[in-house]
Structures are given as C-alpha cells and as structure tokens.
Amino acid sequence: MGKTAPMPAHNFAQDERSLLCDLFEQVGPDAPTLCEGWTTKDLAAHLLIRERRPDAALGILAPPFATHGERVRKAATQTDWAKLIGQVRSGPPMLSVFGLPGVDRIANTMEYFIHHEDVLRAQTPALERQISRGLEEELWNVLRRISRLQMRNTAMGVELVCPGIGRVTANSKTPRVTLTAAVSELSVFTYGRQQAAQVQAEGAERDIAALRAAKLGI
C-alpha cells in the first residue's frame, strides 16, 4: 500500500480573513481602527490592493512608491462597501503571489490577525474574542521568525515570553526589557500597537517607557 498523503496545514489566514469581513459587516465602513487616520473602509481597501495590485502594494515597503500606492488605495475606498468586503473575503486571486499554494497561510495569518485586532480593539467598548490554541501556535511560529526584524531598531534588548509556549530574544542589546503575555498580546505589541497590548513588562522604567513609545516594524 502507498503512503497516505499528509494533511495540509490548516490555513488560519482564511479564518482571520473571514472573521474580519464578518466584523466589517457588523461595524460598518466608518468605524475606527487602530491604524491612525484609517476607518474600516480604509483598512479594507489596504487589504484589497495589497493582494491584487502589486504595483500599489510596493508603496507599503518602498517609500518611493508610497504616493502611487496611497492613490490606488484611496481610489479603492470609493468601491461600494458590500462589494469591497466581498472582494476581500474572496481572498487573493490565482495570479497574485498570495494565491500561490501555501503563501496565503505564511504571509497573511499575522497580517489578518493584526488587522482583525485593529478593528476589535478600536471599538468603544473594545470587542473581545477567544483565541484558539491552534492560532496561538501559528502566531508564535510567525513571531519567532519576525520579531528580530520588528525590534531591530529598539534602543534596548527585548525578550518575548509566552508562558506555556516559549520565549525568544527579539533584540540582544543590553539593558533588556522582558515582555510576558499571551501570544496574541505579544503579537499586537510587536507589530507597533504597544498601547493596545496587555503585557507584563520587566526592566528599567525608562526603558519600558521608551519601548512602548518606539516605532516598531519593518
């Protein structure tokens, strides 16, 4: 008998995309987000062009292309809200790099998780949800790889500790700040939403304050 093919890894990016689109429908196009200056419609337009307009998406990482990217994103905000949600919900098209097998899960799980939290935590009062163990482990796998890049410019060392899952040195400088929290909270912190993250910080007070105010990310 031949070997049984391994089951494909669960795509948590699809889960987060679907839940975020449900939330978009719930709160509407003008709801606040943690992305400064952006409403939910601005955020949905960002997600759409990121996956469907590589020429515009370059502006996210490359400042020379930022003006073009922002122009395309703003144009996308003129799309009917229900249609815009439907386009985001349908996921990346086959010709998109994100449509390649496995790329959606690898590149989009954290992206959609963070933006899902951007909407949940910006509401008054903030909306809450339960994070599954499977999603926690998936987020931790991403955080272990990306945290050094996200924290590379901090003035102090940073240690991330998630009880029951693991720890990682995101920056090896001294003095060091140790952040202890659930993976979801460490992810929100590491991706530049420090004030919205519930973490326990240990270290010198001035270093903790500086880290909470630092510009984190790529």
In order of 7, 90, 112, the CA distances from 14 in angstroms are 17, 9, 9
202 membership: H or E segment, kind and range: strand 200-202
Q: Which amino acid is at 146?
A: I
Quickly count: other Cβ atoms within 10 Å of residue 147's Cβ. 23
Quick one: pLDDT at residue 63?
66
92 membership: H or E segment, kind and range: none
Q: Which residue did the predictor score with more confidence, 2 or 136?
A: 136
When mean pLDDT is compared across 23-32, 92-101, 149-158, 180-189, the lowest value belongs to: 92-101
Structure tokens at 107: 């590149």
Q: Which CATH number fits domain 133-213: 3.30.1050, 2.40.230, 1.20.1250, 3.20.20?
A: 3.30.1050
Q: Are 34 and 122 in contact (CB under 8 A)?
A: yes
Sign of torsion over alpha carbons 51, 55, 61, 65:
negative
Residues 97-147 pLDDT 10s: 888 878 999 999 999 999 999 999 999 999 999 999 999 999 999 999 999
In order of 18, 72, 124, the CA distances from 147 in angstroms are 26, 30, 29
In order of 5, 107, 130, 134, the CA distances from 9 in angstroms are 12, 14, 21, 11
Does pLDDT of 1 surpass 60?
no
Quick one: pLDDT at residue 58?
63
83 Cβ contact list (under 8 Å, min separation 6)? none
Quick one: pLDDT at residue 59?
58
CA angle at 165 for the pair 164 and 170, rounded to the nearest 5°:
125
Domain edges within the chain: 12-120, 133-213
Torsion of CA 86, 110, 122, 90, to 10 degrees: 0
Quick one: pLDDT at residue 57?
64
Provide mean pLDDT across the span 172-198: 97
Q: Are 34 and 27 in contact (CB under 8 A)?
A: no
Q: Place 217 in a pLDDT band, splitting at 50, 70 and 90.
A: confident
Quick one: pLDDT at residue 16?
97
Residues 18-75 pLDDT 10s: 999 999 999 999 999 999 999 999 999 999 999 988 776 665 666 666 778 789 889 9
pTM over 0.85: yes
Does pLDDT of 199 surpass 90?
yes
Q: Crossing angle of helices 103-120/133-150, nearest 10°?
A: 90
Pairing state between β 200-202 and 176-180: antiparallel
Residues 200-209 pLDDT 10s: 999 999 999 9
Could you give phi then psi for residue 32, rounded to 5 degrees? Answer: -75, 160
